[in-house]
Structure 1
Amino acid sequence: MGRRRGKGAGTTYYHKGSKRWCAELSVGFDHHGKPLRVRSYHKTRREAEAWLAEQAALYHKGLLADPSKLTVGEWAEQWLERKSREIRPNTLDAYRRELGYALPALGHLPLQKVTPSHVRALLDDLAKRYSYRTVRWVRQKLHVLFEEALNLEIIHRNPVAPVKLKAARGQGQSKAARSLEVHEAAALLAALDSHKDRRTALALRLMLNMGLRVGECLGLKWQDINLEEGTLTVRRTYSHGRESDPKTPSSVRTLPIPYSTLERLKQYRDWWQERLKEPPPPGMWVFPGNDPARPLEYNAPGRALRRIVERLGIPTLRVHDLRHSYGSHMLANGAPLELVAERLGHANATITLSIYRHVLEHERKGWVVDLETLLTQPRAKA
């Protein structure tokens, strides 16, 4: 009979199947005498040994949970703690919010005891109270949460995987972004000039005329705008009370300001100078809220836009549709795909193509070449 590995003992070995180094720590035995282990796979032996040493130290201090007793709530907190070092704060908040729908029902259950029927019951209950989109995001986040536990061999299967969501009729289709028609854009721009709140009016103009995201627009400071050279640099975003880096490295970009928008920015700067009795300082938010230490509230531009389009009789329009309109009209007027991707701050032109393929398809239909006609036309003499 083979010798049992004692609690807190571990080993590392090369796993041929995954072609990675496996670190394995024994944390005891279940009531059937079956060994309980935690495992993790790494690119190098050194990484595997470092992980093993860390887990063994936690185990001997009593800080490593027994996999058989680890609850979904405890695992979720561990997972979110790891994610906090990898993702943006706003994304982490979204993860917490989405898991928050599930934890009241599943959080107390041992991770290894969760079954597909538990997940099915949870999603069915949520579907009675929340939108399909919300339930879909909850399922997606639970799947990722349990998948990591599966990869670390804490559980033997992912209980979320076999549970599928099927949207009810009329649900599950996200509202497609729409592009303003030329006459709608003209009416909106004219209305912004007479809007009572200069801050939201100019912010909405920048989104439509320069393709800025809401957070990028609210995150602007006067040091980011060069009125002499006519450029604007996106360096940060501001969303729901938090300042952060732009969405991707390519989102950090310097953009030329269209002439009409530049003139309005100069007038806006002069307006602030009159109020402050001096030029706006470089570190001041371009669109400050009622508390000057913070920009406008994140949803303020959207609320203003809804009121304006309702008054103009324009069909429902979301703030993001302004950015979408900018990209659509750029492409429709012959701007190269790579330039549009650069202006919008997309990581690559493939993203731009996937979003605006409908625009490009429409443009392609106009390019019809009849070779028969070309061949029968008289050739010009040299």
Structure 2
Amino acid sequence: MARGKGGGTTYYHKAAQKWVAELRWVDEATGKLKKLCRYARTRREAEELLAKMVAERAQGLLPEPSQVTVVQFAQRYLQGLEGEGLRPNSLRLARQELVYALPSLKDPSAHDPLGRMRLQEVRPLHVQRVVDQLRQGYAPRTVRKVLNRLRALFQRACELELLPRNPAGAIRLRLPQGERAARALEPQEVLRLLEVADGARSREMALLLRLLLETGLRRGEALALQWRDVDLERGELRVWRSWTKVNGKGDFTQPKTRTARRVVPLPQSLLLRLRAWKEELAQRLPQEVLEEAFLFGGNKPFDPDAFNHYLRRLAQRAGLGKVRVHDLRHTWASLALSRGIPLEVVSERLGHASPHVTLGIYRHLLEEERRGYVVDLETLLGLPAVRPQA
């Protein structure tokens, strides 16, 4: 059904077995005729699509027709991240997250329905199918990261006016009941883990474990520490870089945000252990060599994967099941918040960009805490307690 000049038309496409909303217009810059088609299941949906296309064109929001596929745009997106100076390890993770959803980004011959679609054809349903498929074989935390990366990818397309809206924005990933992306150990579980660690042979690994549990540092931040970064008189340490693995090799990287550079106070028990460890090393190393040495590894930091293996074996011996390195950081934050340490202080210690980041990660715990703070008017005014009726 034609709508007159500039109004577009709708019709049924027999081969595709779908209704088509088609809008044609003349590009004022080139004088060439342009056409944009969108498909719908019913005539009514096609009419609604056409009306939306006409309105978007009038407002200058209608994307120019493009044959760019999702994978092609993903390649441009990653090149843009590299040009923005994204750290090598972060760039590697971004690419890996996209490969989970777009296999042809790594292997051009791979089965990849979403990746081979035209970018402008992608709808929320297509993204939902990919997410549902990923949930069959990957951990919830991995699937969430992939979804967030897809949101960022399509959001960039929106900013470039290639898309009118983000097709991944409407997707919600709900974790199964009782399952969360990270695990917070209970106090008795922390005690058991430390008991087993103190009984093991590796004193350095046990000390690293305590440092992570008592400060909330990231693994890479702790491994990058040299003795010159630790002030045993003031009882604090300075975080300014991270030791991570990039392309199979250890390397130093700079913090992601300004707030990740921070000074972290040390608990008294941990401070005493660090002093004792440094005094022991001072008997074997000259002072100038000791100050340049790393807390964990000596002249070179431990391999980042070494502590992962250590923690896995330790947790198994402690009967705690699977415990990941990030769970230690999550444990510190959860214990701190549950004991009334202000959100702003916890966020600063963790090196988050803002308290909003911390709130988004630990909202479940904060809500539980807030439910505990209620005002009982009867108790406040000294009135008799109300007894439930039989």
Please classify the TM superposition score into its range, dividing by the shorter chain length.
Answer: 0.5 to 0.7
Q: Distance in 2 between matches of 1:271 and 1:71?
A: 61
Structure 1 residues 366 and 268: CA distance shift in structure 2, 3 A: farther
3-state SS of the aligned residue for 2:291?
coil
Question: Which structure 1 segments of 5+ residues have no match?
Answer: 1-23, 37-65, 376-382
Of 109-118 and 263-272, the range deviating more from structure 2 = 109-118
1:186, CA displacement in angstroms? 3.4
1:370, CA displacement in angstroms? 1.6
Q: Is the 8 A contact 1:218 1:238 kept in 2?
A: yes
Q: Which residue of 1 aligns with 2:235?
A: 230
Q: Is the 8 A contact 2:224 2:252 kept in 1?
A: yes
Q: Which residue of 1 aligns with 2:153?
A: 145
1:350, CA displacement in angstroms? 4.6
Q: Is the 8 A contact 1:328 1:359 kept in 2?
A: no
3-state SS of the aligned residue for 1:144?
helix
Q: Which residue of 2 aligns with 1:210?
A: 215
Q: How many correspondences in the alignment?
A: 314
Q: Distance in 1 between matches of 2:172 and 2:178?
A: 10
1:287, CA displacement in angstroms? 1.6
3-state SS of the aligned residue for 1:361?
helix
1:165, CA displacement in angstroms? 7.0
1:365, CA displacement in angstroms? 6.2
1:108, CA displacement in angstroms? 5.6
Of 317-326 and 208-217, the range deviating more from structure 2 = 317-326
Alignment of 1:89-128 (within 5 A): 89-101=88-100, 102-104=102-104, 105=112, 107=115, 111-112=119-120, 126=134
Q: Is the 8 A contact 1:177 1:321 kept in 2?
A: yes
Match for residue 307 of structure 1 among 307, 310, 313: 313
Alignment of 1:46-61 (within 5 A): none
Q: Which residue of 1 aligns with 2:329?
A: 323
3-state SS of the aligned residue for 2:297?
coil
Q: Is the 8 A contact 1:233 1:253 kept in 2?
A: yes
Structure 1 residues 208 and 82: CA distance shift in structure 2, 3 A: same
Q: Which residue of 2 aligns with 1:48?
A: none
1:339, CA displacement in angstroms? 3.2
Alignment of 1:7-156 (within 5 A): 33-34=33-34, 68=66, 70-84=68-82, 85=84, 87-101=86-100, 102-104=102-104, 105=112, 107=115, 111-112=119-120, 126=134, 129-131=137-139, 133-154=141-162
Structure 1 residues 264 and 123: CA distance shift in structure 2, 3 A: closer
Q: Is the 8 A contact 2:182 2:330 kept in 1?
A: no
Q: Which residue of 2 aligns with 1:243?
A: 252
Q: Distance in 2 between matches of 1:329 and 1:172?
A: 18
1:303, CA displacement in angstroms? 2.7
Q: Is the 8 A contact 1:231 1:257 kept in 2?
A: yes
Q: Which residue of 1 aligns with 2:291?
A: 282
1:149, CA displacement in angstroms? 2.8
TM-score (normalised: structure 2):
0.64
Q: Distance in 1 between matches of 2:165 and 2:228?
A: 53
Q: Is the 8 A contact 1:251 1:346 kept in 2?
A: yes
Q: Is the 8 A contact 1:270 1:279 kept in 2?
A: no
Q: Which residue of 2 aligns with 1:345?
A: 351
Q: Distance in 2 between matches of 1:208 and 1:109?
A: 46
Q: Which residue of 2 aligns with 1:199?
A: 204
1:245, CA displacement in angstroms? 2.6
Q: Distance in 1 between matches of 2:368 and 2:144?
A: 29
Q: Which residue of 1 aligns with 2:366?
A: 357
1:93, CA displacement in angstroms? 1.9
Match for residue 264 of structure 2 among 233, 237, 255: 255
Q: Which residue of 2 aligns with 1:267?
A: 276
Of 346-355 and 256-265, the range deviating more from structure 2 = 346-355
Q: Distance in 2 between matches of 1:179 and 1:365?
A: 27
**Per-residue Cα deviation, 1:343-370 (whole angstroms, up to 9, x for no partner):** 3334444544551415633753699982
* Residue type at the aligned position of 2:160: L
Q: Distance in 1 between matches of 2:302 and 2:243?
A: 9
TM-score (normalised: structure 1):
0.65
* Residue type at the aligned position of 2:331: S
Q: Distance in 2 between matches of 1:300 and 1:235?
A: 22
Q: Distance in 2 between matches of 1:235 and 1:367?
A: 47
Of 133-142 and 210-219, the range deviating more from structure 2 = 133-142
3-state SS of the aligned residue for 1:282?
helix
**Per-residue Cα deviation, 1:187-226 (whole angstroms, up to 9, x for no partner):** 4334333332222211111111222222221221222101
Question: Which structure 2 segments of 5+ residues have no match?
Answer: 1-26, 37-63, 105-111, 385-390
**Per-residue Cα deviation, 1:81-111 (whole angstroms, up to 9, x for no partner):** 2223164443322221122230412556654
